[in-house]
Amino acid sequence: MQKEKIIAGIMMISFFSANILAQKDSIPKTGMLRAQANISGGYLFAAKKYAPYISANADYYINENFSITGEAWFSFDIIGMDQLGLRKNFSTFLGLNYHPVKYSRWDPYIGFGAGAGLITVNHFQDTLIRESPIQFTPLVGVTAGVNYYVGSIFHFFLQCKFVAGGANSSLYGRTYLEELKISGGLGWNFTPRKKNKKR
C-alpha cells in the first residue's frame, strides 16, 4: 500500500512537471501589479523566538527585470505580559526587486529595501513588568523569492526576507531586531489591458 502511494505521488509530480515544461505561452510582466496578503512567520535571532504576522506586499513591474515593491508586517503578541522582551513588532518596507528571468511563468527575484518599524517591549519598572510606549526604529531588508504565474489573474509565491535593525532605550537597553521572515501562498496579479489602436 505504501509503495502504491509513493508511485502515485511520483506520477502526480511527473504529470505536473510535464505540464509546466510544456507551457509555451509567456507572461509579460511590464506594467503588472502583483499583490498578496497572508499569515506569515518570522524568527528573531537575538530573542530566539518565533513571531506570527499578518503580512501584505505589492510589486509594480517597471519592466521585465525590475519592480518597485512595498511591504507591511503586523505582528500578533510575540510574548505574554509575564515575559520580558519584544512584545509587538510592526514594520513597513519600500524597495526594488530584480527579476532575472523574462517572459516566464517562473519569476525568481532578489531585492533590497529600507523600512521603518514600530515596536513595544516588556521591561521591569517599579518591580513590575510593563509594556513600553511605541518606539520607532529604522530597518533594512534583503529579500529572495519566487513567483509562479498560473495565469493572468493569480500566482503562487514563496518569499524569505532578512531584516536588520535595532532600537535603543534608557529604560531597557537595546532591542535587536535581526529576523528571518517567511511568507508564501496565493497572490493576485493585475495587468493593464492593451488599448486597441484606432485606424
- Give pLDDT < 50 ranges for the chain: 2-3, 5-7, 9-11, 13-24, 199
Report if residue 83 sits inside a domain: yes
Report if residue 157 sits inside a domain: yes
What is the dihedral sign for C-alpha 24, 25, 29, 32? negative
Cα–Cα distance measured from residue 159 to residue 143, given in angstroms and rounded to the nearest whole number = 7
Question: Looking at residue 169, which CATH number applies to its domain?
Answer: 2.40.160.20
Contact 33, 189 (CB under 8 A): yes
3-state secondary structure labels for all residues of 79-106: CCCCCCEEEEEEEEEEEEEECCCCCCCE
How many structural domains are present in the chain? 1
Report if residue 138 sits inside a domain: yes
Report if residue 20 sits inside a domain: no
Express each pLDDT in 101-130 by its tens digit: 988 889 999 999 999 999 999 888 777 888
pLDDT (0 to 100) of residue 185: 93
Range of the domain at 138: 29-190
pLDDT (0 to 100) of residue 195: 55
List, in sequence order, the alpha helices (H) in 128-183. none
Whether pTM > 0.85 for this model: the answer is no
pLDDT (0 to 100) of residue 29: 86
In 3D, which of 144, 141, 142 has the Cα closest to residue 159? 144
Report if residue 105 sits inside a domain: yes
pLDDT (0 to 100) of residue 127: 79
Report if residue 197 sits inside a domain: no
Report if residue 137 sits inside a domain: yes
Report if residue 95 sits inside a domain: yes
Burial class of residue 43, CB neighbours in 10 A (0-12, 13-18, 19+): middle
